[in-house]
């Protein structure tokens, strides 16, 4: 992996991470980094409270790493991408997709935070699945297994360049007979091909038209590379789905999406097509993130911040989000589903909203 994606010059760490083998291994991996002890991986004022850092968004992602211990190990019901959201093994990302929801709660810098107690996370998932027993009936998430989303707050393909957390999680699901791990990614990390998932881990490659991705998917793998990797990951034993997200409506979007669907159809092997399913998620943007993005990547906001097409949606936490106006959104989603159905009839849409 390119060292420029994540090459920490400073590591903020909770002192407790030194008592974990994984914590010591990560520190050994970056021996030249400055170490700064903090009371909590969540509360680092010099990262979260300084508006000037928004202009250094990419440098902070490359130069800073946070190490902590995951405290809460509960599973949250989901019902869309997964049956349950598992405790995250990380938070934040070295990539910089300008629509990402994770930094909305992390202030003016969003570096990767890695949690070193992955054994405890894996054990909690195993206990939860054992209590559930056999899945009583199929659903749109999976016909047989309980599915656990492992990467709600980060990108596990990137995290695998920092530690063996992801290798350990993939290995853990080989021993959970009624459970399956799942995570979305925008990075092709071929080291994962050697993890031997045995069909117990689902990878969801996030895709959108290349022209839009070049503007808003900052520091990620090119769309064509992600599509081309699907065959290899299927052959390596992963279940591989695609995640059309976020769908960004703009003038001239139809030929871009038709071309994307055609590229997928022309690239995937018969084996990959036979197991392919997808999710479709229309864009939701956020006012605070919009303000942060203006400091480092205003060009992306030309696509994301469209008050002429969007309406306000207040989140449960009181944040002002923008989504496409309801009547137009339904029309545009139906159009996209029609283009998808014509080009990829074998690709079941697990959910779309």
Question: In this predicted structure, what is the pLDDT of residue 245?
Answer: 97
Question: Does residue 111 contact residue 68 with C-beta atoms inside 8 Å?
Answer: no
Neighbours of 328 (CB within 10 A): 13
Alpha carbon 141 to its chain's center: 17
Domains of the chain and CATH, by start: 10-352 (3.80.30.30)
Neighbours of 106 (CB within 10 A): 18
Question: In this predicted structure, what is the pLDDT of residue 3?
Answer: 55
pLDDT by 10s per residue, the chain, length 353: 455 799 999 999 999 999 999 999 999 999 999 999 999 999 899 998 888 889 999 999 999 999 999 999 999 999 999 999 999 999 999 999 999 988 877 778 889 999 999 999 999 999 999 999 999 999 999 999 999 999 999 999 999 999 999 999 999 999 999 999 999 999 999 999 999 999 999 999 999 999 999 999 999 999 999 999 999 999 999 999 999 999 999 999 999 999 999 999 999 999 999 999 999 999 999 998 999 999 999 999 999 999 999 999 887 777 789 999 999 999 999 999 999 999 999 999 999 99
Which residues sit opposite 84 in a β-bridge? 77, 148
């Amino acid at each position: 992996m390119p060292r420029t994606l994540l090459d920490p010059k400073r590591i903020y760490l909770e002192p407790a991470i030194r008592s974990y083998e994984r914590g010591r291994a990560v520190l050994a991996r970056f021996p030249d980094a400055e170490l700064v002890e903090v009371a909590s991986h969540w509360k680092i004022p010099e990262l979260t409270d300084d508006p000037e850092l928004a202009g250094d968004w990419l440098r902070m992602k490359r130069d800073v790493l946070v190490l902590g211990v995951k405290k809460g190990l509960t599973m949250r019901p989901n019902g869309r991408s997964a049956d349950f959201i598992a405790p995250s093994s990380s938070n934040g990302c070295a990539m910089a997709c300008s629509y990402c929801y994770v930094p909305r709660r992390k202030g003016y810098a969003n570096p990767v935070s890695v949690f070193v107690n992955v054994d405890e996370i894996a054990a909690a998932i195993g206990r939860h699945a054992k209590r559930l027993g056999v899945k009583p009936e199929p659903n749109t998430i999976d016909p047989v297994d309980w599915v656990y989303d492992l990467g709600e707050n980060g990108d596990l393909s990137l995290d695998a360049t920092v530690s063996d957390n992801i290798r350990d999680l993939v290995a853990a699901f080989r021993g959970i007979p009624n459970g399956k791990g799942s995570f979305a990614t925008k990075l092709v990390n071929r080291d994962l091909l050697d993890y031997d998932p045995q069909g117990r881990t689902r990878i969801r490659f996030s895709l959108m038209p290349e022209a839009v991705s070049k503007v808003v998917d900052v520091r990620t793998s090119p769309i064509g590379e992600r599509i081309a990797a699907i065959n290899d990951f299927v052959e390596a034993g992963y279940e591989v789905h695609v995640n059309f997200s976020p769908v960004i409506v703009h003038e001239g979007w139809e030929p871009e999406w038709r071309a994307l669907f055609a590229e997928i159809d022309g690239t995937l092997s018969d084996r990959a097509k036979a197991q392919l399913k997808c999710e479709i998620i229309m864009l939701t943007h956020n006012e605070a993130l919009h303000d942060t993005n203006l400091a480092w990547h205003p060009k992306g906001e030309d696509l994301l911040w469209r008050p002429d097409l969007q309406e306000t949606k207040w989140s449960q936490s009181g944040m002002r989000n923008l989504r496409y106006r309801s009547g137009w959104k339904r029309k545009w989603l139906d159009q996209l589903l029609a283009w998808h159905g014509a080009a990829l009839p074998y690709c079941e849409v697990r959910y779309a909203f």
